[in-house]
């Protein structure tokens, strides 16, 4: 399963809900305002780092850059471009967009 | 003296306006629309305070590059606010701390407020508009 989250963890509970049910080996792709959670110093960073032990965590590079966050990505988070986004969708048998 | 001179059309009244920005840029249109409203208000010579709290502090990040998502980069407009006599910019210390940010990460000079200072600033406003 590929989980896609697009809302800031400071505003919505979608990231937390996603991490609660994401099973080992699943992938989580953070896009739009969700990318802040994968940056150094963010209050949600610890949750992402803990989750990275069992899940593959990705963040969309263009969304990081648009927010001035490209240089602040947490260790263990994989940055992908739009092509990588497409690859992730293609590689996984199903995906869930958390709204 | 004509009747017109006796009538108060309100044009001389200056109120304290606070614009409270609580949303990250780009994910929603609030940040950009809020900035547009602030610029309009500047034309009316009001006493404007611009406040950034919660994810709103992200609006002021240095190094924003929106080419990849093909939207307007309005972050440089914050630097032009001074030219519109909007010089009172505030950020919330707790919001900065929760995001690992310091003043050096921001594109404009701001005053960092404690919770108590923020509360007092809000309490003294005539109008608070939230984005």
For the cut 50, the answer to whether the pLDDT of residue B87 exceeds it is yes
- The C-alpha angle B130, B69, B32, rounded to 5 degrees, equals 20
The C-alpha atoms of residue B14 and residue A5 are separated, in whole angstroms, by: 44
Q: How far does chain A reach from its first CA to its final CA, in angstroms?
A: 16
Total structural domains within chain B: 1
B81: domain CATH number is: 3.40.1260.10
For the cut 70, the answer to whether the pLDDT of residue B78 exceeds it is yes
For the cut 60, the answer to whether the pLDDT of residue B73 exceeds it is yes
- Residue B61: per-residue pLDDT: 98
Q: Is B56 on the interface with A (CB under 8 A)?
A: no
pLDDT tens per residue, range A42-95: 999 999 999 999 999 999 999 999 999 999 999 999 999 999 999 999 999 999
Of B66, B98, B99, which is closest to A66 when you measure between CB atoms? B66
Of A7, A32, A36, which is closest to B58 when you measure between CB atoms? A36
The C-alpha atoms of residue B97 and residue A43 are separated, in whole angstroms, by: 9
> Which structural domains are found in chain A, ordered by start?
2-98 (3.40.1260.10)
The verdict on residue B6 lying in a domain is no
The C-alpha atoms of residue A64 and residue B43 are separated, in whole angstroms, by: 34
A25: left (phi over 0), alpha (psi -120 to 50) or beta: left
- Residue B42: per-residue pLDDT: 84
Give the residue from chain B lying closest to A65, CA to CA. Answer: B65
For the cut 80, the answer to whether the pLDDT of residue B104 exceeds it is yes
Q: Is the ipTM of this complex over 0.90?
A: yes
Stated pTM of the model: 0.92
CB atoms within 10 A of CB A31: 21
The C-alpha atoms of residue A70 and residue A78 are separated, in whole angstroms, by: 12
The verdict on residue B84 lying in a domain is yes
pLDDT tens per residue, range B21-59: 999 999 999 999 999 999 998 888 899 999 999 999 999
* Domain range for B95: 15-130
- Residue B115: per-residue pLDDT: 96
Q: Are B26 and A43 within 8 A, CB to CB? A: no
User: What share of chain B has pLDDT > 90, as a percent?
Assistant: 85
- Residue B12: per-residue pLDDT: 82
Mean pLDDT taken over chain B = 92
B120 vs B12 pLDDT, higher one: B120
């Amino acid at each position: 399963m590929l989980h896609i989250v697009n809302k800031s963890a400071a505003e919505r509970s979608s990231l937390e809900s996603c991490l609660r049910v994401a099973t080992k080996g699943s992938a989580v792709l953070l896009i739009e305002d969700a990318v802040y959670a994968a940056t150094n110093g963010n209050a949600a960073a610890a949750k992402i780092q803990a989750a990275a032990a069992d899940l593959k965590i990705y963040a969309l590079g263009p969304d990081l850059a648009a927010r001035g966050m490209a240089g602040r990505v947490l260790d263990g988070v994989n940055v992908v471009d739009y092509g990588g986004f497409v690859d992730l969708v293609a590689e996984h048998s199903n995906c869930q967009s958390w709204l | 003296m004509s009747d017109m001179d006796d009538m108060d059309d309100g044009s001389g009244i200056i109120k304290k306006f606070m614009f409270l920005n609580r949303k990250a840029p780009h994910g929603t249109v609030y940040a950009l629309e809020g900035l547009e409203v602030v610029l309009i208000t500047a034309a009316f010579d009001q006493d404007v305070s611009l406040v950034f709290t919660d994810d709103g502090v992200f609006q002021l990040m240095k190094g924003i590059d929106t080419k990849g998502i093909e939207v307007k980069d309005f972050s440089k407009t914050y630097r032009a606010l001074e030219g519109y006599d909007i010089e009172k910019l505030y950020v919330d210390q707790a919001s900065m701390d929760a995001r690992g940010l310091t003043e050096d990460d921001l594109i404009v000079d701001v005053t960092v407020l404690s919770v108590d200072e923020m509360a007092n600033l809000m309490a003294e406003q005539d109008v608070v508009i939230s984005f």
